[in-house]
Amino acid sequence: MMTVLNCVLYEHNIWLVLVAALVCLAGSSATIRLFSRAANTTGLQRAGWHFLTAVAAGSSIWCTHFIAMLAYDPGAPVGFDPVMTIVSLLIAMVGVQLGFVLAASGLTRLAPALGGAVVGLAIVAMHYTGMMAYRVQGIISWEMNYLVASILLSVVLSALAMHLAMRRVAGSDKYWATGALVLAIVCLHFTGMTAFRVSPMLIEGSFSNPAALQALALAVAGVALVILGAGVASYLIDDSMRAESYEKLRQMAMSDSLTGLPNRASFNDHLDHELDWVADTGGKVALIGIDLDRFKEINDLRGHAIGDEVLQVLARRMTKLLGEGEFIARLGGDEFAAVSRMRGRGELADFLSRLEASLFKPIRLDDFEVIPGASLGVAIYPDDAASKEALVNNADLAMYRAKADIARAVCFYERSMDEIVRARRNLASELREALEANQLDIHYQVQTSISTGEIRGYEALLRWEHPQRGFIAPAEFIPLAEENGLILQMGEWILRTACARAASWEPPYKVAVNLSPVQFVHTDLPKLVADVLAETGLAPERLELELTESTIFADRERSLYMLGQIKALGVNIALDDFGTGYSSLDTLRAFPFDKIKLDRSFMSEVESSPQAKAIIRAVLALGKSLDIPVLAEGIETHGQLALLTSEGCDEAQGYLLGRPAPLQQIITSGQLTLAGGDVSGQAVVTVRAEDIAVSLVARSA
């Protein structure tokens, strides 16, 4: 082979051969890269890349052949048939495109090799069509062994090139593919030219112009390189656009769309990096969990648009305060997290101080001002945790402790917090067991008319007597049930049990049942109430459902719509805890409540606080103007009862009138009987209706 190559090179202009080799190498490299891009796309993009690949490959193959032919010196005048020359270029482009499409089709495992073979045949067809366009004054003959060898070399090496280009097992495969394609083109040309024999027949007056042919060859090379440059530029531009698109997508994936802060995914990556830094340097990292205190209130009272604006303002503030080694991200909703490398307690204290100042600084929006506030929980790695998961969990524990302690906004993790969490988890598990084992009970507290002393009804109150721990306050286990989803099952059980028992009461007093906000979110409440009434036989007007205004604010439109459906059944709706939390006159205007329950906190201060007395008078006046009865909770003294009487309050409820008691005790007291049932049990500690009347007469006297 080397003898053949040396012989052929001897007959060529060495400089033009080098130009042809440069075009061949550049063209093959560009072809493999463009083909790889085509193989990795689909649809119209793949068709476009295949076209560019075919143009680059066909033009480089044709130019390599044409320049090498111009460099060839047969010893006789030469010329070219323009038509056949152009046809050879078209054959090269169309043929290699068919081969590339087949190689990237994935039809079979042999598709790359078969496609490469087609490319090799296209190179062969282009070469020998170009030779047919070659006009030389002499007798042409062919050495068939070399001709066949040139065809075999082109087909085999092209098949190898496409196989390597599609394999992509190693990063060097594309370079091996480029080399195989270069060899396919070069071996075809020089082996084919070895098969080419010319016996000159000089005709007087005929001659070639070597300088003109060389100039033409260089012009062709220049055009080929321009075409290749266009293909490579397309590749690079696409690469750049893909890189930019990838970076944009990465930024979108790692950033919070509302605030622009890093999101949870970015936070996890950063925290992993910081823990690696701790392992490498022996330093410490503080994780700060941040939860806004009044964000729900802002959202409910001002709307979600204002809530979003508050989050954006806080994000800008916290971004500006960050220093070296400090990081902050939004994890979702009103929850943020900050990370700070610790070089000393003083630097951490300074960072926490800056965070606290930015979170508690008032925000002016339109014509009102809000102070969001926040609870911050701090855990330090590796002091407080041995893993990332434990660190995050401990920061959350500290944050919830800060949220529960109104006296401080920042709380550091302490080992005892784990014990509290374990205790709550155990209690939640025991509550689930108590619900399944029917260990819960309902006590009833009387609701009485102040003017007549008559009993109007009873409020059903859930009670839990733990076998080992004894009585557990509802304020302890109800929030736990709401956190763990048990409140749905408990709420349905209370409603069904209270209605079933009340259906047999004589006299037919009302029964009041409290609703949890969770029930509004997760259940079809109107259907549940309708089903319970139908199953228990309780008259709808004897059921009164109590809910707080915060329950409505969670999803105002949906809640009011559901209340309207329940009221359409004939059920009474009472607004509980009025005067605290969310108390909006607009809510009273938007829905026709059947009762307003004045919160017990006002009654505890009414005899000593003029402000509490003024609020009670205002609520009672409001109820009268709207024609809505008002029930005062927490009546514990005769003085409180006398005040309500003088102010014209409709109903009262409290320890003075009757403590919550099991149904059997109320039956034993004679306040209730069960239709068709036996009356037995212990006495109940309560104030009877006639006692109220005696008290009122005594006070008036």
Q: What pLDDT does residue 572 have?
A: 96
Q: Where are the beta strands (DSSP E) in 235-283?
A: none
Domains of the chain, by residue range, sit at 2-202+210-244, 264-414, 424-700
User: How do residues 532-544 score in pLDDT, each as one tens digit?
Assistant: 999 999 999 999 9
Least confident stretch, 184-193, 418-427, 578-587: 578-587
Q: What pLDDT does residue 456 have?
A: 94
Compute the average pLDDT of residues 32-45.
Answer: 80
Q: Examine the pLDDT at 14 and tell me if it is beyond 70.
A: yes
Domain 264-414: CATH superfamily is: Reverse transcriptase/Diguanylate cyclase domain (3.30.70.270)
CATH topology of domain 424-700: TIM Barrel (3.20.20)
Cα dist. 399→293, 329, 344, 375, 379 in Å?
Answer: 11, 16, 21, 6, 9
Higher pLDDT, 692 or 648: 648
Q: Of 185, 184, 163, which Cα lies nearest the Cα of 174?
A: 163
Percentages (nearest 5) of helix, strand, coil residues in the chain: 60, 20, 20
Q: What pLDDT does residue 274 have?
A: 93
pLDDT band with cut points at 50, 70 and 90 for residue 106: confident
Least confident stretch, 25-34, 133-142, 507-516, 597-606: 133-142
Q: What pLDDT does residue 5 have?
A: 42
Higher pLDDT, 249 or 605: 605
Strand, helix or coil for residue 544: strand
Cα 649 versus chain centre, distance = 52
Q: What pLDDT does residue 272 have?
A: 94
pLDDT band with cut points at 50, 70 and 90 for residue 683: very low
Q: What pLDDT does residue 83 have?
A: 82
Instruction: State what percent of residues in the chain have pLDDT above 90.
Output: 31
Higher pLDDT, 75 or 653: 653
438: Cβ–Cβ under 8 A, 6 or more apart, which residues? none
Give the torsion through C-alpha atoms of 550, 553, 556, 559, to 10 deg: -20
Least confident stretch, 23-37, 134-148, 204-218, 289-303: 204-218
Q: What pLDDT does residue 347 have?
A: 84
Ordered DSSP codes for 91-126: HHHHHHHHHHHHHTS-SSTTHHHHHHHHHHHHHHHH
| Contact between residue 484 and residue 469 where contact means Cβ atoms under 8 Å apart | no
Higher pLDDT, 491 or 237: 491
pLDDT band with cut points at 50, 70 and 90 for residue 231: low
Q: Of 57, 71, 66, which Cα lies nearest the Cα of 122?
A: 57
pLDDT band with cut points at 50, 70 and 90 for residue 388: very high
> Rounded to the nearest 5°, which phi and psi values hold at 294?
-120, 20
Q: Examine the pLDDT at 282 and tell me if it is beyond 60.
A: yes
Residue carrying the six token digits 């790359």: 112
Q: Examine the pLDDT at 412 and tell me if it is beyond 70.
A: yes
List the alpha helices (DSSP H) in 104-204.
111-132, 144-167, 173-195
H-run or E-run covering 328: strand 326-332
The mean of the pLDDT values for the chain is 81
Higher pLDDT, 595 or 405: 595
Compute the average pLDDT of residues 181-185.
Answer: 89
Per DSSP bridges, beta strands 335-342 and 284-292 are antiparallel
User: How do residues 326-361 score in pLDDT, each as one tens digit?
Assistant: 999 999 888 999 999 987 777 888 999 999 999 988
Q: What pLDDT does residue 556 have?
A: 73
Residue carrying the six token digits 């040396």: 6
- 12 DSSP β-pair partners: 72
Q: Examine the pLDDT at 287 and tell me if it is beyond 90.
A: yes
Q: Examine the pLDDT at 692 and tell me if it is beyond 50.
A: no
Instruction: State what percent of residues in the chain have pLDDT above 70.
Output: 81
Indicate the pTM of the whole model. 0.50
Q: Of 333, 331, 332, 351, which Cα lies nearest the Cα of 341?
A: 351
> Rounded to the nearest 5°, which phi and psi values hold at 409?
-95, -20
H-run or E-run covering 20: helix 14-39
Least confident stretch, 93-97, 142-146, 200-204, 695-699: 695-699
| Contact between residue 166 and residue 103 where contact means Cβ atoms under 8 Å apart | yes
H-run or E-run covering 472: strand 470-472
Q: Examine the pLDDT at 500 and tell me if it is beyond 80.
A: yes
Compute the average pLDDT of residues 658-678.
Answer: 83
User: How do residues 242-258 score in pLDDT, each as one tens digit?
Assistant: 656 555 655 666 688 88
Higher pLDDT, 422 or 187: 187
Compute the average pLDDT of residues 141-148.
Answer: 88
Distance CA 477, CA 487 (A): 10
Higher pLDDT, 239 or 134: 134
Q: What pLDDT does residue 449 have?
A: 95
CA contacts within 13 A on the Cβ side of 323: 11
- DSSP annotation of 336: E
Q: What pLDDT does residue 197 have?
A: 79
Distance CA 564, CA 324 (A): 56
pLDDT band with cut points at 50, 70 and 90 for residue 28: confident
pLDDT band with cut points at 50, 70 and 90 for residue 701: very low
Q: What pLDDT does residue 206 have?
A: 47
Least confident stretch, 310-314, 390-394, 419-423, 560-564: 419-423
